[in-house]
């Protein structure tokens, strides 16, 4: 049994509309008179009759009945499966890119069952050779599958421009398949070639589409695998980032190589091109390559990793993410600095949590000479131990008397914290407030500077006379 290339309705429509197009002048449109209106009415009636003849055909009616019989149960079963799978998908955590892909297809899973049921009907009618033509079933199946793929992939693509371009190109291809003109289009593109590189337009077209699709799949797959790697607790943070980047880059290189093979490009002919790229990198892209290599070195030696608290120059914050070109550092005021990787190799970096997260802080203070130094030391350690963030078990606070100052006895209170990303100034402020409260409670005075003024010439103080009412 053979399948017709085009629908009869298209043939009938062309047979009806073509004479009207030939008779209508193109240079100067006719006025809308009664004769023109009558001609339009006749053409519309002819088209209407052709549609009725097509729809009244027994084969068409049989196909419509089969389509309805397949779509209704497929839609019902797809709804049940969607609810079951939705409960399973909700259990996936920490892989947002995979969830985005699954959600895009899950919301359209009914169309998958419609296409599957119609495909089974198409195969059955082809084997049984009843009805005589099953082109309508084939076209409906193709449209259902196209709607599933195009709408889901357009939803997955984040940028609206590329999503629209993909949707338009895909629907144009579907229309060409339904009209049966794909072979004609391919013959036209294969007949046109680029003389310099001896490549046909068909090879360029298919190669660009293949490279684009492969790159998109490689990026999505690399992102999903990267998310999965980041959830492995047995690996260090730096190793997780390094493996994620290697996975992404490897998949992208593989996609490009496969696309070049589809274009029948000889890879050995790229030696000159690679030399030119090397020269370009040496002159124009040396900073980019330097930052990329520096990022790999940072990941391999694990000098910094996500979550570390660092100080680079005047920037204090914690590392949020390591990228191929820069490191994202978030400060306490919410600012996010994108620092090039090269700066972490060539300049001095203070990593507050390189070996461990414990950080020691110093708070100097002074009390009056009337105070008991032994009591002051105990009160200071007690005040610091009462703060939540201060480590009072592993590294308890200590206090030392440092000097006899001009107007006070000076001390230095030292304590440890294990969360420097929570801030340093705020914890110092809490400790100072705790010292003030406990000193005030026990009568320990915090002095302020005193100055004696000696007058060489005697000064007589007189009380000012109050003015009289009459004055």
CB 398 within 8 A of CB 452: no
| Residues 138, 147: Cα–Cα separation, whole Å | 14
| Residues 56, 59: Cα–Cα separation, whole Å | 9
| Among 412, 405, 404, CA closest to 376 | 412
Mean per-residue pLDDT, 216-232:
82
pLDDT at 196: 58
- At CA 392, angle to CA 387 and CA 395, rounded to 5? 130
pLDDT at 307: 83
C-alpha dist (Å) from residue 321 to 17, 41, 326: 63, 69, 9
- For 106-110, 275-279, 295-299, 306-310, which range has the lowest pLDDT when averaged over its residues? 275-279
The SS3 of residue 7 is coil
CB 283 within 8 A of CB 273: no
Domain residues of the chain, as ranges? 304-351, 359-441
Mean per-residue pLDDT, 403-411:
90
C-alpha dist (Å) from residue 140 to 118, 122, 151: 8, 10, 16
- The pLDDT confidence band at residue 190, using thresholds 50, 70 and 90, is confident
More confident residue, 272 or 331: 331
Please provide the DSSP assignment of 365-378 as one string. Answer: EEE-TTS-HHHHHH
CA 368 from centroid of its chain's CA atoms: 59
Mean per-residue pLDDT, 169-186:
82
- Statement: residue 195 has pLDDT above 80: no
Q: 304-351 and 359-441 share one CATH topology?
A: no
| Residues 221, 254: Cα–Cα separation, whole Å | 12
pLDDT at 86: 87
CB 269 within 8 A of CB 304: no
As beta bridge partners, residue 321 has 328
CB 86 within 8 A of CB 106: yes
φ, ψ for residue 437, nearest 5 deg: -65, -45
- For 42-46, 191-195, 215-219, 442-446, which range has the lowest pLDDT when averaged over its residues? 191-195
User: First CA to last CA across the chain, in angstroms?
Assistant: 131
H/E segment holding residue 359: strand 359-367
- Peptide bond before 131: cis, by omega within 30 degrees of 0? yes
| Residues 109, 245: Cα–Cα separation, whole Å | 33
- The pLDDT confidence band at residue 14, using thresholds 50, 70 and 90, is very low
Give residue for tokens 């421009």: 161
CB count within 10 Å of CB 232 equals 10
Strands 326-331 and 315-322: antiparallel
More confident residue, 1 or 269: 269
- The pLDDT confidence band at residue 123, using thresholds 50, 70 and 90, is very high
pLDDT in tens, 380-401: 999 999 999 999 888 899 999 9
- Statement: residue 322 has pLDDT above 70: yes
φ, ψ for residue 310, nearest 5 deg: -130, 165
The third-level CATH classification (topology) of the domain covering 359-441 is Alpha-Beta Plaits (3.30.70)
pLDDT at 15: 45
User: What is the DSSP code (8-state) at residue 129?
Assistant: T
- The pLDDT confidence band at residue 325, using thresholds 50, 70 and 90, is confident
CA 115 from centroid of its chain's CA atoms: 32
CB count within 10 Å of CB 93 equals 8
Pick the CATH number of 304-351 from 1.10.3720.10, 2.30.30.60, 2.60.120.10, 1.20.950.20: 2.30.30.60
């Amino acid at each position: 049994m053979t399948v017709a290339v085009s629908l009869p309705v298209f043939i009938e429509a062309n047979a009806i509309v073509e004479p009207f197009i030939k008779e209508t002048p193109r240079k100067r449109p006719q006025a809308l008179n009664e004769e023109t209106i009558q001609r339009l009415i006749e053409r519309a009636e002819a088209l209407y009759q052709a549609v009725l003849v097509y729809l009244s055909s027994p084969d068409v009616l049989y196909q419509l009945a089969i389509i309805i019989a397949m779509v209704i149960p497929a839609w019902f079963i797809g709804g049940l499966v969607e609810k079951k799978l939705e409960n399973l998908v909700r259990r996936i955590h920490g892989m947002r890119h995979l969830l985005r892909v699954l959600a895009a297809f899950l919301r359209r899973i009914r169309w998958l069952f419609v296409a599957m049921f119609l495909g089974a009907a198409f195969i059955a009618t082809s084997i049984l050779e009843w009805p005589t033509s099953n082109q309508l079933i084939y076209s409906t199946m193709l449209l259902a599958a196209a709607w599933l793929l195009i709408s889901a992939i357009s939803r997955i693509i984040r940028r609206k421009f590329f999503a629209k371009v993909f949707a338009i190109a895909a629907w144009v291809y579907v229309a060409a398949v339904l009209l049966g003109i794909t072979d004609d289009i391919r013959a036209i593109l294969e007949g046109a070639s680029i003389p310099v590189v001896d490549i046909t337009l068909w090879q360029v077209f298919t190669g660009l589409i293949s490279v684009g699709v492969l790159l998109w799949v490689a990026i999505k797959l690399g992102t999903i695998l990267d998310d999965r790697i980041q959830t492995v607790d047995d690996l260090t943070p730096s190793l997780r980032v390094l493996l994620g980047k290697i996975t992404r880059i490897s998949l992208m290189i593989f996609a490009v190589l496969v696309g070049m093979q589809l274009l029948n490009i000889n890879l050995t002919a790229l030696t000159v091109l690679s030399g030119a790229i090397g020269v370009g990198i040496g002159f124009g892209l040396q900073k980019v390559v330097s930052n990329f290599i520096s990022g790999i070195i940072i990941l391999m030696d694990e000098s910094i990793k996500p979550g570390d608290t660092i100080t680079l120059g005047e920037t204090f914050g914690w590392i949020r993410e390591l990228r191929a070109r820069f490191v994202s550092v978030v400060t306490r005021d919410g600012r996010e600095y994108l620092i090039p990787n090269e700066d972490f190799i060539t300049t001095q970096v203070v990593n507050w949590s390189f070996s461990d997260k414990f950080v020691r802080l110093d708070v100097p203070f002074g009390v009056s000479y009337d105070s008991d130094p032994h009591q002051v030391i105990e009160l200071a350690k007690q005040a610091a131990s009462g703060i939540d963030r201060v480590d009072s078990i592993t590294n308890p606070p200590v206090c030392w008397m440092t000097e006899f100052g001009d107007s006070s006895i000076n001390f230095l209170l030292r304590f440890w914290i294990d969360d420097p990303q929570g801030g340093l100034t705020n914890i110092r402020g809490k400790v100072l407030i705790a010292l003030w409260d406990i000193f005030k409670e026990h009568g320990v005075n915090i002095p302020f500077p005193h100055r004696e003024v000696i007058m060489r010439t005697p000064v007589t103080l007189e009380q000012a006379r109050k003015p009289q009412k009459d004055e």
